[in-house]
């Protein structure tokens, strides 16, 4: 892979009374950003797209405690312009090769108290980002009480977002006029009346509270930060701090947002050194879904799921089906304390789960174990055991861990405040020391730190498959909203792939017991079976799970797709789509291509040119489609599998039922299939 860098750098020193160069455009000239100071030294920025107003002048800055000035009375000292164009590679990702091309403007300001502020703006062809870099030489510590950063959208339009919450992202998405959104978590995606698609988010959230959006008037929003228990938003030692990037992805088509690399490009390069081959994508199954359906339990009783015998059964299945890993929940002591302040022991298995023996058996079968650390929100208990727990796993050959934070945090802390942001970073850094990757559930939202710490592989951070086990479930449009909202931040461990859609094998089981108050007895998966298969492609995760209990896969012809599927993709592209309506995505992994397409409650047919395939090469397309009588409500398990030979000159007609989808494996002719 060829990597190149070039810099065009010049410094313009601006003295009092001289004109101030405070405009910046994208490399292609389509996006223009303007920075201004008003007569009181307050800061604003505005953005135009294609020569038309996109963001009208919007306030910038912060408010601080104890007389610290973070927002006004500034004057420009100088302005520095830089251009960068490079191609960098990552050990895994939707695309392993990323182009990073932007124009940068660093506006250096100072106030009468000698507070220095660099406002760093970067404008790309696919959007922009800006951050604040403060230096206060005579300040020992900074207490941020509010962020003033605003996003005054010039036009109304349609938006897709979840309500703002500092405790959970597991909320249903809303489709609303921009002007009707009172508050929102990010990414908040929208389409303006003149057809611009955009998404407001943040990048490189490392030592700061998360940002949500709060409506101020019409289509104007300001940043709202999660706080500490005493109301302070951020506590920063010393007089120097750098904020996360405030980011806006911009595209002329909805799929342009999915194909954007902006969030990753706003993060720092990889901080890990040496051979990173221990960081690798995998497919996995696990002892998990039975607990959510109520036929197994996390605790050690007559219905305990994570027994050594059951673990070996899952390991055998993985070894026989080209699946690299298995995951076990409920293997360790502490689940019996659920509902109080949970005190898990991360190195003490239940009596019916011999971890050493299970690890030995997995190694013998060539299967990896994905460990599990549920905290129940008890951060202090987890951090006391952190190093020992990761060392213990590493000694057993376990180098991938799923973490969980279901439950309230102690001391009045919020899940998304600076306290927990620091905790999540500490976990990722600790795991890296033991060559361990992390899959975080109930996480802080993804802001692209996987570029800096690629062992932070995937996370939950939205309503995933589990909600279908014990509630009304996720509506069909949920899967056409996630790629344009939550997934713009990064990979999601949604855990797709449930085949027993109506729970026919468990609903009336004598082993089933209600354990969740949201369970009204009518839960199911609100898709067709073909859509479940397609979601393995569309809902990107480098750790991709087949979520159902393995007995529902054994002997099932459609499970062939997952056996053929490769989670370690090299290149991806969203081909077609509209938020909440439909989406089609293709990924290449080594010599194979995998296509997934899904639709909401409406039946739909897409025409997809296959020009993404390699030229002058023939492929066997194995098509997993909705049956002719398929319907997500009335007949969700109807499917059909067909094969045809195709080349890059062909076009595929993708017919999808209501709430349905289609998945296609493109395997080079002559290539041996997986067993």
pLDDT one-digit tens code per residue, 27-81 = 999 999 999 998 888 899 999 999 999 999 999 999 999 999 999 999 999 999 9
As a whole number, mean pLDDT of residues 348-354 equals: 98
Tens-place pLDDT, residues 514-525: 999 999 999 999
**pLDDT score of 338:** 87
**pLDDT score of 675:** 55
Decide if pLDDT at 665 tops 90: yes
Residues contacting 301, CB < 8 A, separation 6+: none
Tens-place pLDDT, residues 592-638: 999 999 999 999 999 999 999 999 999 999 999 999 999 999 999 99
The chain-wide mean pLDDT, for the chain, equals 95
Helix orientation angle between 308-320 and 355-365, rounded to the nearest 10 degrees: 10
Q: In this structure, are residues 50 and 56 in contact, taking their beta carbons and an 8 Å threshold?
A: no
CA atoms within 13 A on the CB side of 61: 21
- Residue 16 banded pLDDT, cuts 50, 70, 90: very low
As a whole number, mean pLDDT of residues 430-455 equals: 98
In the chain, the percentage of residues whose pLDDT exceeds 70 is: 96
Q: In this structure, are residues 663 and 530 in contact, taking their beta carbons and an 8 Å threshold?
A: yes
Peptide bond into 153 cis (omega under 30): no
Active site annotation includes 554: no
Tens-place pLDDT, residues 67-121: 999 999 999 999 999 999 999 999 999 999 999 999 999 999 999 999 999 999 9
543/10 Cα distance (integer angstroms): 44
Place of tokens 């209990």: 549
Q: Pick the catalytic residue: 210, 333, 466, 480?
A: 466
Q: In this structure, are residues 285 and 312 in contact, taking their beta carbons and an 8 Å threshold?
A: no
Query: Of 406 and 338, which is predicted with more confidence?
Result: 406
- Residue 342 banded pLDDT, cuts 50, 70, 90: confident
Tens-place pLDDT, residues 300-313: 999 999 999 999 99
User: What phi, psi does 388 have (nearest 5°)?
Assistant: -60, -40
Decide if pLDDT at 12 tops 50: no
Burial 160-176 (b: 16+ CB within 10 A, else e): bbbebbbebbbeebeee
Tens-place pLDDT, residues 500-511: 999 999 999 999
535/533 Cα distance (integer angstroms): 5
618/648 Cα distance (integer angstroms): 8
514/296 Cα distance (integer angstroms): 11
As a whole number, mean pLDDT of residues 151-176 equals: 98
Tens-place pLDDT, residues 284-297: 999 999 999 999 99
């Amino acid at each position: 892979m060829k990597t190149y860098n070039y810099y065009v750098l010049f410094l313009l020193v601006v003295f009092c009374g001289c004109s101030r160069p405070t405009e910046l455009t994208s490399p292609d000239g389509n996006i223009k950003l303007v920075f201004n100071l008003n007569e009181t030294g307050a800061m604003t920025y505005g953005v135009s797209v294609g020569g038309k107003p996109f963001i009208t002048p919007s306030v910038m800055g912060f408010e601080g405690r104890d007389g610290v000035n973070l927002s006004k009375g500034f004057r420009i000292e100088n302005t520095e312009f830089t251009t960068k164009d490079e191609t960098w590679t990552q050990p895994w990702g939707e695309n392993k090769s990323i182009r990073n091309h932007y124009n940068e403007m660093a506006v250096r300001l100072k106030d009468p108290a000698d507070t220095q502020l660099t406002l760093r703006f970067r404008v790309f062809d696919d959007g922009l980002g800006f951050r604040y870099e403060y230096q206060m030489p005579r300040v020992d510590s900074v207490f941020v009480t509010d962020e003033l950063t605003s996003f005054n959208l010039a036009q109304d339009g349609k938006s897709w977002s979840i309500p703002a919450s500092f405790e959970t992202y597991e909320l249903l998405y809303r489709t609303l006029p921009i002007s009707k959104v009172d508050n929102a978590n990010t990414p908040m995606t929208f389409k303006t009346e003149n057809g611009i698609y955009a998404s407001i988010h943040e990048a490189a959230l490392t030592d700061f509270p998360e940002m949500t959006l709060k409506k101020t008037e019409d289509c104007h929003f300001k940043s709202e930060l999660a706080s500490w228990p005493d109301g302070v938003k951020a506590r920063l030692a010393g007089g120097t701090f750098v904020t996360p990037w405030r980011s806006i992805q911009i595209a002329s088509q909805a799929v342009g947002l999915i194909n954007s690399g902006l969030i990753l490009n706003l993060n720092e390069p990889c901080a890990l050194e040496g051979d990173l081959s221990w960081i690798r994508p995998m497919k996995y199954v696990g002892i998990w879904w039975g607990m959510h359906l109520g036929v197994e339990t996390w605790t050690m009783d007559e219905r305990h799921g994570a027994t050594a015998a059951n673990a070996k059964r899952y390991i055998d299945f993985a070894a026989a089906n080209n699946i690299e890993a298995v995951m076990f929940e409920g293997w360790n002591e502490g689940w019996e304390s659920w509902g109080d302040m949970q005190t898990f022991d991360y190195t003490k298995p239940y009596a019916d789960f011999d971890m050493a023996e299970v690890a030995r058996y997995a190694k013998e079968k060539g299967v990896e174990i994905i460990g599990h650390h549920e905290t129940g929100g008890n951060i202090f208990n987890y951090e006391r055991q952190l190093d020992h727990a990761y060392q213990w796993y590493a000694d057993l050959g376990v180098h991938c861990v799923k973490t969980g934070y279901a439950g309230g945090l102690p001391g009045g802390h919020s899940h998304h405040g600076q306290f927990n942001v620091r905790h999540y970073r500490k976990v990722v850094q600790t795991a890296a020391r033991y060559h361990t990757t992390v899959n975080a559930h109930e996480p802080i939202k993804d802001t692209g730190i996987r570029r800096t710490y690629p062992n932070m592989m995937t996370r939950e951070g939205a309503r995933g498959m589990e909600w279908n086990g014990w509630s009304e479930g996720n509506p069909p449009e949920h899967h056409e909203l996630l790629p344009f909202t939550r997934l713009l931040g990064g990979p999601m461990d949604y855990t797709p792939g449930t085949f027993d859609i109506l729970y026919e094998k468990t609903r009336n089981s004598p082993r089933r017991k209600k354990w969740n108050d949201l369970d009204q007895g009518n839960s199911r998966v609100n898709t067709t079976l073909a859509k479940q298969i397609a979601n393995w492609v569309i809902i990107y995760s480098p750790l991709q799970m087949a979520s159902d209990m393995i007995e529902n896969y054994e002997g099932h012809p459609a499970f062939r797709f997952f056996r053929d599927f490769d989670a370690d993709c090299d290149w991806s592209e969203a081909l077609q789509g509209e938020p909440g309506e439909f989406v089609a995505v293709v990924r290449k992994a080594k010599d194979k291509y995998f296509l997934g397409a899904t639709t909401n409650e409406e039946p739909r047919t897409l025409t997809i040119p296959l020009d993404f395939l390699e030229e002058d090469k023939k492929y066997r397309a194995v098509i997993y489609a909705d049956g002719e009588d398929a319907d997500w409500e009335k007949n969700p398990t109807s499917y059909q599998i067909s094969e045809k030979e195709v080349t890059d000159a062909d076009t595929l007609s993708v017919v999808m039922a209501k709430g349905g989808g289609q998945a296609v494996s493109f395997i080079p002719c002559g290539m041996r299939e997986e067993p």
